[in-house]
């Protein structure tokens, strides 16, 4: 009689103090680099976090062990994508068996880090997915990012989350989430372990421009975004995919900055097809 193998799950810290949660039994490693929201919690994944993530990453678990790799708490002043990529490289080496390359999904800010990682450590990155990310922030979105930075310096986490909800979702959540965040969310949602990590992350996003270095990324790369993304716009997504030597593009009509989550079936089907080629 065939006996199913329990899904492996673990949490902890990788080299350099990178908190992580992992789930899956697959032979390949898939590393997910999260966006700005990563700075807005304690940085400690509870023991059950991996199992809690299993349904979210179910589309990948037959082939992959998925690692959600956070950034360390207490980011230094001047933190940039180069520093982030070098730090993540050391943490990824701890999960890649024998120096085997891993596949990487970089979400928003994580996509900026993923680009730098692919350039600096081509031996470590096999395939790269840029989820609601591009080679830089859209010029028209810089004022929005500075507004978020101001909220961060004022420790106004509810305003950050409310604005992001509006900018991420194209459905009713853009309307219902902000009042919930500003009321019961103030008591229930986590607070950053290190408030400065939030504005230093935003400084990194504002300072990043890799558009003239895309041809240094030789790995197959997929740019996945929303047609209405206000931060990494459809125009930038198209330009990024076009300048990548092995770039593919998938834009979801009507979707905004949360297309990777709001249109998850489309995202998972597109990404899995890309990774399996």
Name the more confident of 109 and 25.
109
User: What's the mean pLDDT in 66-71?
Assistant: 97
User: What's the mean pLDDT in 208-236?
Assistant: 98
pLDDT score at 3: 45
Which residues are CB-contacts of 231 (< 8 A; sequence separation ≥ 6)?
108, 132, 137, 138, 141, 144, 145, 167, 257
User: Do 241 and 248 meet the contact criterion of CB atoms below 8 Å apart?
Assistant: yes
CB atoms within 10 A of CB 19: 23
Q: What domains lie within the chain, and their CATH numbers?
A: 9-139+210-275 (3.40.50.1820)
What would the two tokens of residue 234 be?
Answer: 């459809």
Helix (H) or strand (E) holding 18: strand 18-23
User: What's the mean pLDDT in 145-172?
Assistant: 98
Task: Report d(CA 109, CA 50) in Å as an integer.
Answer: 22
Task: Report d(CA 61, CA 72) in Å as an integer.
Answer: 26
Name the more confident of 95 and 217.
217
Within 57-212, strands assigned E span 64-69, 102-107, 125-131
What would the two tokens of residue 221 be?
Answer: 């790369």
Is the per-residue pLDDT at 168 higher than 90? yes
User: What's the mean pLDDT in 205-221?
Assistant: 98
User: Do 61 and 53 meet the contact criterion of CB atoms below 8 Å apart?
Assistant: no
pLDDT score at 156: 98
pLDDT score at 8: 84
User: What's the mean pLDDT in 234-250?
Assistant: 98
pTM above 0.85, yes or no: yes
pLDDT score at 233: 98
Which residues are CB-contacts of 221 (< 8 A; sequence separation ≥ 6)?
118, 127, 128, 129, 130, 241, 244, 246, 247, 248
Q: Which among 151, 149, 108 has a CA at the least distance from the CA of 257?
A: 108
pLDDT score at 112: 98
Query: For the segment 5-28, what is each residue's pLDDT rounded down to a tens digit?
Result: 677 899 999 999 999 999 999 999
Average pLDDT score over the chain: 95
Is the per-residue pLDDT at 98 higher than 60? no
Confidence label for 265 from pLDDT (cuts 50, 70 and 90) = very high
Give CA separation, 277 vs 94, 132, 173, 180, 220, in Å.
26, 21, 34, 42, 10
Phi, psi for 88 (deg, rounded to 5)? -65, -35
pLDDT score at 1: 38
Is the per-residue pLDDT at 124 higher than 80? yes
Is the per-residue pLDDT at 32 higher than 70? yes
């Amino acid at each position: 009689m065939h006996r199913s193998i329990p899904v492996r799950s673990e949490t902890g810290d990788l080299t350099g103090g990178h908190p992580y949660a992992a789930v899956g039994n697959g032979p390949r490693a898939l590393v997910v680099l999260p966006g700005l929201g990563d700075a807005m919690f304690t940085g400690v994944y509870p023991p059950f976090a991996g199992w809690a993530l299993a349904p979210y990453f179910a589309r990948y678990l037959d082939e992959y062990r998925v690692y959600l790799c956070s950034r360390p708490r207490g980011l230094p002043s001047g933190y940039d994508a180069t520093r982030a990529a070098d730090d993540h490289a050391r943490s990824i080496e701890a999960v890649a068996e024998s120096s085997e390359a891993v596949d990487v999904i970089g979400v928003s800010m994580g996509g900026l880090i993923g680009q730098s990682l692919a350039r600096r450590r081509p031996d470590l990155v096999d395939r790269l997915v840029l989820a609601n990310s591009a080679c830089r922030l859209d010029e028209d979105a810089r004022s929005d990012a500075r507004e978020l930075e101001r909220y961060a310096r004022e420790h106004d986490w509810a305003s950050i989350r409310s604005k992001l909800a509006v900018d991420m979702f194209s459905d009713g959540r853009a309307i219902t989430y902000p009042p919930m965040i500003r009321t019961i969310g103030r008591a229930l949602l986590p607070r950053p372990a290190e408030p400065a990590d939030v504005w230093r992350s935003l400084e990194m996003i504002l300072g990043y421009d890799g558009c003239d270095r895309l041809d240094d990324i030789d790995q197959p790369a997929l740019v996945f975004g929303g047609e209405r993304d206000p931060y990494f716009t459809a125009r930038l997504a198209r330009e990024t995919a076009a300048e990548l030597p092995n770039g593919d593009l998938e834009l979801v009509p009507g979707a905004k900055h949360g297309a990777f989550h709001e249109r998850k079936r489309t995202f998972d089907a597109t990404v899995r097809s890309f990774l399996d080629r």
